[in-house]
Amino acid sequence: MNKHHYVAIMAGGIGSRFWPMSRTNFPKQFLDILGTGKTLIQQTFERYTKFIPKENIYIVTSEEYVSIVKDQVKGIPTENILAEPSRKNTAACIAYIAFKLFEKDPKALMMAAPADHLIMETEEFAKTAKKALDFVGSINALVTIGIKPTYPNTGYGYIQHETVEAAPEIYEVKTFTEKPNQEIAKAFIASGDFLWNAGIFTWKVKNILAAFEKHLPEVYEVFAAEKTHFNTPGEVEAIERIYPQCTNISIDFGVMEKAENVYVIPAGFTWSDLGTWHSAWENMDKDYFGNAVSGNKVMVMDAKNCMVHVPEDKLVVLQGLNDYILVDTKDVLLICKKEKEQEIKEYVAEVKRNMGDRYL
């Protein structure tokens, strides 16, 4: 393992599309959504330990989730769990860890990845990640990993790339498109030169900092003003001063879509961002009629292609539903057509308006 290789696992999201199982105080990255015996953040941490030294793995999360991370992720140094005082999207998160690492190790190469993605083929993932690290080690490049689309998903970002390789299995990025409509997504897939954006990034730390300075100077400047406090006892107070001044923007919008030195590596592994109940259904074992069931006492009769997630000890009898999501928790029951799942965020907002924060 290379001592200059690092990874930042981003674990501050609230996972509202997995409501009601995912809640604000215990979101999806800390849940075993698929019943594998490990939570998503545990799987992500273990995936990186295959090729990144444990002491070089950092988790950036919200202050309120630090204790959950400590409880779930064994083997990570406590000082490698970084607490954000507020949610300011991925640009601030990445700027934080990049400045911190550069003060510690100016030769650092870094990956940044969400905590809640599903990647089962860990060896193939490690192969792709090492290819990205090798590439950015030799060239001033910002690299993202792309996934070959299997259907016209309107919830993902798309990357269009050049058809000629810049290096073996690495392509220069032409355009980014965020969450297209159904017709555009179909056209992207038909063209053959578009990939889903997995949101897994690799770069030299000094190069991403230069990209921040050029394309997102308002974020760069507030971190740069406090950089001498990183890796010192004054870091926490510095972050408390920085975050209220930070623009709330994603790394995609703020940097990647503006930079000219962006490349993509098509993934050799299967991937899901597990962003919706439908994606969970896709990745779970199903019965003869396409029903994915999590729960020991579920009886399904005359139903097809349903996603069912209920408490282990609760008897649930399901009859006559096709293409539905049924999620039961101790205080909320959700029954929703799968085709309407992109509206779950709106349902959560409506619950908040009518019921307050109790069920969020």
pLDDT in tens, 220-253: 999 999 999 999 999 999 999 999 999 999 999 9
Instruction: Please give the Cα distance from 142 to 144 (Å, whole number).
Output: 7
Closest-CA residue to 47 (of 130, 123, 147): 123
Contact 92, 84 (CB under 8 A): yes
Cβ burial, residue 171 (10 Å; 0-12/13-18/19+) = buried
Residue range 41-48: average pLDDT? 96
Query: Has residue 150 got a pLDDT over 90?
Result: no
pLDDT at res. 138 = 92
pLDDT at res. 252 = 93
Total-model pTM: 0.91
Residue range 282-286: average pLDDT? 91
Residue range 85-114: average pLDDT? 96
Closest-CA residue to 253 (of 144, 176, 161, 174): 176
Instruction: Please give the Cα distance from 164 to 77 (Å, whole number).
Output: 42
Share of the chain above pLDDT 70, in %: 100
Query: Has residue 14 got a pLDDT over 90?
Result: no
pLDDT at res. 141 = 96
In this predicted model, which residue has the larger pLDDT, 280 or 57?
Answer: 57
Query: Has residue 77 got a pLDDT over 90?
Result: yes
Closest-CA residue to 32 (of 46, 23, 19, 21): 21
Contact 341, 325 (CB under 8 A): yes
Residue range 162-169: average pLDDT? 92
Share of the chain above pLDDT 90, in %: 76
Residue range 7-15: average pLDDT? 91
pLDDT tens-place string over residues 310-349: 988 899 999 999 999 999 999 999 999 998 888 888 999 9
pLDDT at res. 350 = 94
Q: Which amino acid is at 310?
A: V
pLDDT at res. 270 = 87
pLDDT at res. 314 = 92
Range of lowest pLDDT (79-83, 174-178, 230-234): 174-178
Residue range 1-6: average pLDDT? 92
Q: Let me know how long the chain is.
A: 360
Instruction: Please give the Cα distance from 133 to 151 (Å, whole number).
Output: 29
> In this structure, what token pair is assigned to residue 343?
């509206």
Q: Of 152-156, 301-305, 337-341, which one has max mean pLDDT?
A: 301-305
Query: Has residue 37 got a pLDDT over 90?
Result: no
Closest-CA residue to 345 (of 198, 178, 155, 184): 155
Give every CB contact of residue 214 below 8 A, 6+ residues apart in sequence: 259
Contact 114, 7 (CB under 8 A): no
